[in-house]
Amino acid sequence: MAIPFVYNLRSVTNRPVSTATTAVGIGLTVAIFIGALALAAGFRASLVTTGSPDNAIVLRKGADSEISSGVTLEQVNILKANPAVAVAPTGPPLASAEMVIVVNKERLGQKGSSNVMLRGVDAEAASLRGGITLVAGRMFTPGTDEVIVARRIAGRFAHCNVGDKLRFEQRDFTVVGQFTAKGSAFESEIWGDAAVLMPALHREGYFQTVVFRMKDPAQFDRVKKELEADPRLQVQVRRERAFYAQQSEAFTLLITVIGTFITAIMAVGAVFGAANTMYATIGARTREIAMLSVLGFGSWSIFVSFVVESVIVAVIGGLVGCVLALPMNGITSSTTNFQSFSEMAFQFRVTPQIMGQGLGFAALLGLVGGFFPALQAARQKLTRSLRA
Amino acid sequence: MLKLVIVNLFRNPLRTFLTMASVTVALFLFCALGGILDTLQESIKVGSESRLVTRNKISLVQWIPMAYRQRIEAVPGVKRVAIQNWFGAQDPADTKGFFAQFAVDDPWYGVYGKDYELVDATPSSAPADIPEGADPRLASYFQEQTACVVGQKLMEKKGWKLGQTINLAGTIYPGTWPFTIRAVYHAKKKSFGDETMFFHYKYLNEKGMGGFGAVGTYVLELNDPSQASAITHAVDSQFENAAPATLTETEQAFQAGFVSMYGNIPFVLRVIGLAIVFSILLIAANTMMTSIRERTSEFGVLKTLGFTDGAVFRMVVIEAAVITLGGGLLGSLGARALVTGASVPGGFFPPMSIYWGTVLTGIAIAVVIGAVSGLVPAVQASRLRIVDALRRVE
């Protein structure tokens, strides 16, 4: 027969201090576990949302990032003329040949400098990408020395307010607007007219990528095959979303490795802590346990009951961890994505799924931590316990 | 009294072990995390102050012309100029296994002569010009356009052999690139790293750029490091109105730029470290409290025997300190012993290092945790009135 669950609940609430300290110990471990997952998820999410499912991106064969790619003007024209490229109602193909260049700029309010992505785009780029919203000022006028800056980086780099001048090589560019892009990687970029930026940065006729809207996204595989087989092009064609998702892989891996390392070790510490508390609890309740045996509860029932008690404490800890980790949601952090060699801002994302994983992790800690103490409780000799 | 402390430590060996183990684990982690920050610091150290790095002012990714070399060399105080160019190719058999490759020119091996040593090299058949400061055993490398020099650890990781020809797939410079391994090096300066590959800039220029001569960075060796800021200014002002303009800084500042690129990740690590310290404090305090509560009657007896309140207080605090200090020493020193030298995923870091300062901080934290976790129960025990203590005998 099983020992009523209420017994464990009462026991837990009976010793609030020791329950609380164990729970908080486990809670902090869970909070860090959730934090690492939230960081990786946030970083991934901002790169995945960068791509649109209807778009394809063209890079030079062998290139593994936008900055290492190169496409000539001639190739751009061949690509834009392809019938697979969707056409805007006004006539021009929905494609953007882009110059992507990393510029080193001074940080704001922090020592040193960091790299920012400067993207020279076609007029179609904003409508092609979607989700680009101007939150201050206006769009740059094609053909002029004007740029727009992502709202998120305006706080991190100098001279990014509307009306400020940004200097690239020998030319000053005026910031005329700030934009958001639904949290995507574009929110860490500066955009301007490719036709103006390229000569200013000595990049005439040398684009990095071509992005185009597919007339029929279902035909992607056929289009890819056709373009990659064209001997004039020497390119690779990828789905935009898949490409950006892949750009997050190296960093996500690094965070996952470091996060796993930290949580694994902390988990060991938390398990020791939980085991310690359970041993103390059981030690203090020797007579109580003996009473349970006398009442007719078998060793198995006693074992299960104490494991359950340990799991209860751990899950309370898990909840504490979730509460501790929740404020992390939405915090903006930034680091360099070495794939693009430029700084990228992203938000911690504490999703319900991640919190669920955190709770599961806590329960596991409780299970492992409670196992041996419960075993000891179950094996107690009745005669000796009653005498104690 | 010390004897009493020791006896008490062994009254419940399992509990003492578990508490000590959780402190050990936490401080191991604290020091390992501190080690990541130390490693970032260490990576700055490759930068010698007697070397300058010149790059494109726009950013490191942009090239500067080969023609600048002579003009930089002509600046008074510059002893030698070497080329260092990022290559960024992949091993087609293992595209995820990132490692750094640089195309460098011959003087480069002299400029960095003190930072590495050769562990193995193919013997040369004919004499070659060896730049001042470079290892003469590099002769066979200098004589072969497609030769390369590979770090010892990278050799082990990839299972490559000296003399083997390897094929890399270019990402920035397209195509398949065959290289023959002619020498294996070991970093004398830890931050130099053992997982890099170096090869001829000439090869890159001819095969990858059709002789165009775009250069990533120039490394400047100086006659007198104290002249660094004057030379920096002299180099940059030459190209101020040229296209492209340059930015020259000490190698140390150049490396620090990389560290600054990690943004606030170091800050995040610090927060995690503090959270860990706080959570072990809770665990240790909890254990100490339970263990003291159990012994209430014993303290009554001790006091009856004439132990003063102060003595009881000290006894409890020392007991706590021994547990946490033991754990702290094990964890901190263990981290230094085990983590040091491990390679960090991502490929941009030098091997892990943990400074003694970090280890000492860890040990100090352990002592503080011991004192704090022992404090509450110690105060309780010392304030205990004999009557109350003995009344509680069950």
Give yes or no for a contact between B88 and B169, defined as CB atoms under 8 angstroms apart: no
Cβ pair A43, A248 in contact under 8 A: yes
What is the rounded CA–CA span in Å between residue B111 and residue B103? 15
- The verdict on B119 and B150 lying in the same domain is yes
* B229 or A250: which leads in pLDDT: B229
Does B370 reside within a domain?
yes
Nearest CA distance, B314 vs chain A (angstrom) = 23
B346 touching A (Cβ < 8 Å): yes
3-state secondary structure chain B: CHHHHHHHHCCCHHHHHHHHHHHHHHHHHHHHHHHHHHHHHHHHCCCCCCEEEEEECCCCCCCEECCHHHHHHCCCCEEEEEEEEECCCEECCECCCCCEEEEECHHHHHHCCCCEEEEEECCCCCCCCCCCCCCHHHHHHHCCCCEEEEEHHHHHHHCCCCCCEEEEECCCCCCEEEEEEEEEEEECCHHHCCCEEEEEHHHHHHHHCCCCCEECEEEEEECCHHHHHHHHHHHHHHCCCCCCCEEEEEHHHHHHHHHHCCCCHHHHHHHHHHHHHHHHHHHHHHHHHHHHHCCHHHHHHHHHCCCCHHHHHHHHHHHHHHHHHHHHHHHHHHHHHHHCCCCCCCCCCCCCCCCHHHHHHHHHHHHHHHHHHHHHHHHHHHHCCHHHHHHCCC
SS3 A322: helix
pLDDT in 10s for each residue of chain A, 388 residues: 678 888 888 888 887 877 887 888 888 889 888 988 898 888 888 888 888 889 999 999 888 889 889 999 999 999 999 999 999 888 889 999 999 999 988 888 777 788 899 999 988 888 888 788 999 999 999 999 999 999 988 888 889 999 999 988 888 999 999 999 888 889 899 999 999 999 998 888 889 999 999 999 999 999 999 999 999 999 999 999 999 888 888 778 877 887 888 888 888 888 887 888 788 788 878 888 888 888 888 889 999 999 999 999 999 999 999 999 999 888 888 887 777 788 888 888 999 999 999 999 999 999 999 999 999 888 887 777 776 5
State the pLDDT at residue A110: 72
Please report whether residue B83 resides in a domain.
Answer: yes
CA-based end-to-end distance of chain B = 26
Shared domain for B366 and B229, answered yes or no, is no
Torsion sign across C-alpha atoms A79, A80, A81, A83? positive
- By the 10 Å C-beta count (0-12 exposed, 13-18 middle, 19+ buried), B74 is classed as exposed
Residue B251 within any structural domain of the chain:
no
Q: Which helix (H) or strand (E) segment is A173 a member of? A: strand A171-180
Q: Is the pLDDT of residue B289 over 80?
A: no
Question: Does the pLDDT of residue B393 top 70, yes or no?
Answer: no
* Inter-chain CB proximity A28 and B275 less than 8 Å: yes
Q: Are residues B180 and B317 in the same domain?
A: no
Same domain for B219 and B281? no
Q: What pLDDT, on the 0 to 100 scale, is given for residue B42?
A: 78
Which residue type, as a one-letter code, is found at position A66?
E
CA distance A49 to chain B (A): 22
Q: Does B394 touch chain A (CB under 8 A)?
A: no
Are residues B124 and B219 both part of a single domain?
yes
Instruction: Show which of B243, B278, B307 is a domain's final residue.
Output: B243
* Residue B394: predicted pLDDT: 44
Helices (H) and strands (E) in chain A, counts: 13, 14
Mean local confidence (pLDDT), B317-341: 87
Nearest CA in chain B to A26: B279
Residue of B nearest to A262 (CA): B29
Rounded-to-integer distance, Cα A361 and Cα A36, Å: 13
Nearest-CB residue to A68 (from B18, B172, B279):
B172
Residues ≥6 apart with Cβ < 8 Å to B289: A17, A18, B376, B377
Q: What is the mean pLDDT of residues B331-338?
A: 89
Is the residue at B57 inside a domain?
no
Boundary residue ending a domain (B211, B243, B275): B243
* pLDDT of the residue at A1: 67
pLDDT of residue B348: 59
Which residue on chain A is closest to B36 by alpha carbon?
A258
Note whether residue B333 is domain-resident: yes
Residue pLDDT, tens place only, B58-70: 888 888 999 999 9
Length of chain A: 388
Quick check: B231 contacting A, CB < 8 Å?
A: no
pTM: 0.80
Residues B312, B349, single domain; the answer is yes
Interface test with A, best of B36, B279, B372, B376 (most A CBs within 10 A): B279
For residues B56 and B291, the model is more confident at B56
How far is B96 from chain A, CA to nearest CA, in Å? 8
Q: How far apart are CA A186 and CA A132, in angstroms?
A: 9
Judgement on whether residues B107 and B229 belong to the same structural domain of the protein:
yes
| Domain membership flag for residue B250 | no
C-alpha span between B324 and B367 (Å, rounded): 6
Size of interface A-B (CB pairs under 8 A): 183
Gyration radius of chain B's alpha carbons: 30
The answer on B194 and B139 residing in a single domain is yes
**Is the Cβ pair A273, B286 closer than 8 Å?**
yes
Taking the C-alpha atoms of residue A119 and residue A69, their distance in angstroms, rounded to an integer, is 14
In a domain, B253, yes or no: no
Integer CA distances (angstroms), A304 to A5, A276, A296, A365, A367, in order: 10, 18, 15, 15, 10
Residue extents of the structural domains in chain A: 5-48+249-387, 62-233
How far off is chain A from B129, nearest CA to CA, in Å? 35
- Which of A104, A75, A327, A322 minimizes the C-alpha distance to A205? A75
In a domain, B311, yes or no: yes
Minimal C-alpha gap between A90 and chain B (Å): 37
B257–A112: do the CB atoms touch at under 8 Å? yes
Kindly indicate the confidence band of residue B46, based on its pLDDT and cuts at 50, 70 and 90: low
Whether B39 and B102 share a structural domain: no
Residues B31 and B101 in one domain: no
Question: String of b and e for B77-92 (b: at least 16 CB within 10 Å)?
Answer: ebbbbbbbbebbbbbe
pLDDT for residue B184: 96
Reported ipTM: the value is: 0.74
| Domain count along chain B | 2
- Domain extent, residue B122, equals 63-243
